[in-house]
Amino acid sequence: MPRSLLILFAIALLPLGGCMQTTLSPSTDASMTARDRQLLAHTPYAQANVPEQYLRHIVDYPRKEQPGTILVDTNARYLYYVLPDGKAIRYGVAVGEEAMAFSGVARVGRLAEWPDWVPTPEIQARLGPYPARVPGGPANPLGARGIYLYVGNKDTLYRIHGTNQPEYIGQAISSGCIRMRNEDVIDLFDRVKLNATVVVLPPGQSAQIESGPSWHG
């Protein structure tokens, strides 16, 4: 092809590159400890075929939240971890049913690996009976990590956590907490800092972030 035609071809491609949302999934394995690999190799639940849009991506992020902030778009079933330079990591999540969902601004008040689960009295009454405390592990509903949401110094009892039911990612199904695939909550856990801001949009309010074409690694 003559050089002049090559230049014209390259120029013609420039607008396409500008409107596409280049995304790349961070490595899953890099964050996992030996214990994580051991426990997740023997899960008591089947691995789910999570829809592609709910896998982890780096996306353009036009909103004004500061890097290090977590934003949950309840309607879209996405959690964003804000990066510098107008980017964010987008994870698919399961959210609470509307009547039980938390919304508002909180902070990360506690971080725990393979946390025990202590069912609340409301969950015991509605879904129990459960043991008073369920030890951490792959069968535990909190999964591999727990990120505890506080308002001021008060525990809201809402969590961002892993799951032993990955087939529900992308749905509104939980008792108010925000569930992630275990490999995703491990990745988020290693990025988020104690006291980071967490913004959970209420049902009906969109983050207005275009999903665009996307690819994951």
Q: Domains in the chain, ordered, with CATH? A: 21-200 (2.40.440.10)
**Whether 114 contacts 137, CB under 8 Å:** yes
Mention every residue, 6+ apart, whose C-beta is less than 8 A from residue 160.
70, 72, 79, 93, 146, 147, 149, 177, 178, 180, 185, 188, 198
The active-site residue, picked from 19, 42, 57, 177, is 177
DSSP state of 177: -
Contacts of residue 51, defined as CB under 8 A and 6 or more positions apart, other chains included, come to 92, 170
Contact between 198 and 105 under an 8 Å Cβ cutoff? The reply is: yes
Q: Specify which residues 160 forms β-bridges with.
A: 147, 178
161 belongs to the catalytic site: yes
Concerning whether 177 is annotated as a catalytic residue, the answer is yes
Checking if the pLDDT of 53 tops 60, the result is yes
The pLDDT assigned to 204 comes to 84
What pLDDT, on the 0 to 100 scale, is given for residue 198?
98
User: Of 89-93, 130-134, 139-143, 177-181, which gets the smallest average pLDDT?
Assistant: 130-134
Q: Which residue in 42, 57, 161, 216 is the catalytic one?
A: 161
Q: Residue 90 and residue 185: Cα distance in Å, rounded?
A: 12
Average pLDDT over residues 68-85: 96
Q: List all residues 6 or more positions away from 90 whose beta carbon is below 8 Å from its beta carbon.
A: 23, 56, 57, 58, 59, 78, 79, 80
Q: What average pLDDT does range 91-106 have in this prediction?
A: 84
> Is the Cβ–Cβ distance between 71 and 65 less than 8 Å?
yes
With tokens 């790349």, the residue in question is 24
What's the pLDDT score for residue 110?
A: 97
Q: What is the mean pLDDT of residues 151-171?
A: 93
- Residue 165: phi and psi, rounded to 5, are -135, 65
Query: For residue 42, what pLDDT is reported?
Result: 86
Query: How far is the CA of 190 from the CAs of 17, 42, 112, 150, in angstroms?
Result: 31, 22, 11, 19
